[in-house]
C-alpha cells in the first residue's frame, strides 16, 4: 500500500492547509495511508498532542480514512521529518514550498548544490511533491 507523509505546523497555517489539502487529495486518489506529522521542537515545547492535531485536521477536511496523526519532538524540524519519512518507508512526501527552502538551506551547509528533491529520492527512495500555498 502507498504511504504518504505530510509534515504540517500546528496550529495549521495557510501553508500547512494547502500542503495538507494536496496530501489528502493524493491519499484519496491512490487509496493510500496518510501520516500527518507535526514536529514539536524541544526548544519551544508547545506540548502539542496527537488529539489536537487530529481535531484540527478533521475540522478542515472531515474524518480521513487510513490517516495517522504523529507528533514528534526534536531539535531540528527538517531532521525529524527525514527520520519519520524513513521510519514510515514513505512512498510520497508532500511538503510546502517554505519547508523545501528550509531543507535547501540546511543541505547547503553540507552540499555544494542542494537539490532537495534529488537528495530525498536518493536517500529515501520516495517521490517529493512541493506545494505552494498560493497555487
Predicted pLDDT of residue 82: 86
**Mean pLDDT in residue range 27-40:** 97
What is the CATH code of the structural domain delimited by 1-129?
3.40.50.620
**Cell 496523526 maps to which residue?**
69
Taking a C-beta distance cutoff of 8 angstroms, is the pair 57, 20 a contact?
Answer: yes
Q: Tell me the C-alpha distance between 61 and 52, whole Å.
A: 14
Predicted pLDDT of residue 119: 63
Query: Residues 63, 85, 103, 77: is their CA dihedral positive or negative?
Result: positive
Q: Where are the domains of the chain?
A: 1-129
Nearest Cα neighbor of 57 from 39, 76, 33, 35 is: 35
Question: pTM for the full model?
Answer: 0.86
Looking at per-residue pLDDT, the higher value among 37 and 115 belongs to 37
pLDDT beyond 70 at 121: no
Q: Which uninterrupted H or E stretch holds 10?
A: none
Listed ranges 54-58, 86-90, 91-95; the one with the highest mean pLDDT: 54-58
Amino acid at each position: 500500500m502507498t504511504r504518504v507523509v505530510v509534515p504540517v505546523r500546528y496550529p495549521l497555517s495557510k501553508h500547512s492547509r494547502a500542503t495538507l489539502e494536496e496530501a489528502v487529495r493524493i491519499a484519496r486518489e491512490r487509496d493510500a495511508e496518510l501520516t500527518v506529522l507535526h514536529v514539536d521542537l524541544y526548544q519551544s515545547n508547545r506540548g502539542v498532542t496527537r488529539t489536537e492535531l487530529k481535531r484540527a485536521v478533521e475540522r478542515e477536511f472531515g474524518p480521513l480514512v487510513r490517516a495517522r496523526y504523529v507528533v514528534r519532538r526534536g531539535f531540528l524540524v527538517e531532521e525529524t521529518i527525514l527520520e519519520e519519512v524513513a521510519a514510515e518507508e514513505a512512498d510520497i512526501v508532500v511538503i510546502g514550498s517554505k519547508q523545501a527552502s528550509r531543507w535547501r538551506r540546511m543541505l547547503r551547509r553540507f552540499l555544494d548544490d542542494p537539490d532537495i528533491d534529488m537528495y530525498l529520492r536518493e536517500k529515501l527512495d520516495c517521490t517529493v511533491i512541493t506545494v505552494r500555498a498560493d497555487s
